[in-house]
Structure 1
């Protein structure tokens, strides 16, 4: 065997070894990404693949078990559970993403500004943050949603109000760490302004951990929204939402499919984002790459 063939064979073995190592390390992340991609596809194709309208009532077909006509059965009004789960994806998942984006962005900016400026402004903003963090998030969201009234918009507002404080706290901590590093002192010595240092240097270096938290938090937001809908504080019927569907079937013990399948949908979404978030954390952490 020639030297060229030996080199090519060694390179092939090296690529294969690295691929296996990458697959082992990020297997759960790939699974999570596949789950998230599946539900994203359901959101896009929902109306085209749903066998029935989500609000099509047929009392003669009520509480039918899973069959060829209704793959996931029907609920107490004869509505197709599969169709409602599919349409519910277009409510539950985008809501979780929207809450995390709005609340996370707001908290990141406020916490970053507080950590960068310091002084009395930082003290004031952190005390306000602590005030919100004193209350259990779900209880506070329930109180705000109940005060605002039932509805999708009001529920999002209630969740955003309780969502931003933890991002503000984490963002402040990350900015404080970054502003004490040597590259910030070097930027000041070069004559860069405080705003430019914050926006061009400090803030981008805090994005990695926050992206991981954003991803992991989407599952939590979906569960929280489902919990509020379960209590009747989410969307207005007959709009399908997974938490509300679980609530509708909570007393139907024998007709387990009414609540089991939307509950399983919540479970898969949460697990998908958790797996994906763990993989992003390992990928964005330089110390994890060295192991």
Structure 2
């Protein structure tokens, strides 16, 4: 019998209640990842194929989610749009986490003027509202997926730098770091083999929670016309195309629901990961 089934029933129920939403969030995220990977085989029509004779057709047996103003199949564009939205979210968060973590840990280890210089640059970026700064940078760089990702990266790494620095400051005062120093281990090895691994848990939680926010931000920039280049399918631009089509509600509703489910999925998964990494919460 597995360890889970061997638990007393009340404790098993508590774990299901505590981590049930995390499993649901993980299932939602996994489902969308599979949809993105299998998009060419799942989409019933080419995402950019136009059929003006069937423009703005309501959901039917042929077009399950209807068609848009150019007669393109909404379901096909929704499926292919998941590739760009998920790719943009993962790229921004993972690169932002890598850059911010490196800056934060290095600043905590250098101390003195090096730490001050790094953290003042971080504070300078944090002074601006992230969405406003990303909007300004995206407008300056021009329309395009790559430019939008670059604009988001500029505003995404400081939060990770702040978190990594605070975690590294706590770790550098631990006895094991002092013992490693006394044993003659190099500073690089102490950073990479001892301090960095002990900071990855909270950073992983922040990454998971931030993935939904990054996808939502990218969709918001695309909604404003600063994301993908038409006619590339993307959820935010699809919502923008249907924002004035009140009677043809399906054009904007289904991409909006896709964004909602992904954000909720990552939030549930991040909350569960945070509780699981906390020994006190895990043993309740």
Q: TM-score range by the shorter chain?
A: over 0.9
Tell me the distance in 2 between the aligned counterparts of 1:282 and 1:100.
Answer: 21
Q: Is 1:83 aligned to residue 61 of structure 2? A: no
1:190 is matched with which residue: 183, 195, 199?
Answer: 183
Tell me the distance in 2 between the aligned counterparts of 1:20 and 1:186.
Answer: 43
- Could you give the per-residue CA deviations for residues 230-274 of structure 1, whole angstroms, max 9, x where no partner exists? 000000001000000000000001111100000000000000000
Q: Is 1:221 aligned to residue 207 of structure 2? A: no
Tell me the distance in 2 between the aligned counterparts of 1:71 and 1:53.
Answer: 14
With over 3 angstroms needed to count, the CA separation of the structure-2 counterparts of 1:44 and 1:160, relative to structure 1, is same
Which residue number in structure 2 is paired with residue 24 of structure 1? 17
Which residue number in structure 2 is paired with residue 105 of structure 1? 98
Please, what TM-score do these two structures have when normalized by structure 1? 0.94
With over 3 angstroms needed to count, the CA separation of the structure-2 counterparts of 1:193 and 1:266, relative to structure 1, is same
Q: CA deviation at 1:20?
A: 3.5
Tell me the distance in 2 between the aligned counterparts of 1:20 and 1:44.
Answer: 35
Please, what TM-score do these two structures have when normalized by structure 2? 0.96
Tell me the distance in 2 between the aligned counterparts of 1:98 and 1:142.
Answer: 18
Tell me the distance in 2 between the aligned counterparts of 1:12 and 1:70.
Answer: 44
Which residue number in structure 2 is paired with residue 251 of structure 1? 244
2:205 is matched with which residue: 201, 212, 221?
Answer: 212
Q: Post-superposition, which runs of at least 4 consecutive aligned residues in structure 1 deviate over 3 A? A: 11-21
Tell me the distance in 2 between the aligned counterparts of 1:12 and 1:73.
Answer: 45
Which residue number in structure 2 is paired with residue 172 of structure 1? 165
Which residue number in structure 1 is paired with residue 142 of structure 2? 149
Residue 7 of structure 2 aligns to a residue whose secondary structure is: helix
Q: Is 1:271 aligned to residue 269 of structure 2? A: no
Q: Give the alignment's Cα RMSD to 1 decimal.
A: 1.5
Which residue number in structure 1 is paired with residue 108 of structure 2? 115
Name the stretch that deviates more: 111-120 or 13-22: 13-22
With over 3 angstroms needed to count, the CA separation of the structure-2 counterparts of 1:123 and 1:25, relative to structure 1, is same
Which residue number in structure 1 is paired with residue 89 of structure 2? 96
Tell me the distance in 2 between the aligned counterparts of 1:236 and 1:14.
Answer: 54
Q: CA deviation at 1:290?
A: 3.2
Tell me the distance in 2 between the aligned counterparts of 1:110 and 1:275.
Answer: 28
Which residue number in structure 2 is paired with residue 4 of structure 1? none
How many residue pairs get matched?
A: 282
Tell me the distance in 2 between the aligned counterparts of 1:124 and 1:82.
Answer: 49
Residue segments in structure 1 that go unaligned for 5+ positions in a row:
1-7
Residue 233 of structure 1 aligns to a residue whose secondary structure is: coil
2:117 is matched with which residue: 120, 124, 127?
Answer: 124
Tell me the distance in 2 between the aligned counterparts of 1:34 and 1:265.
Answer: 14
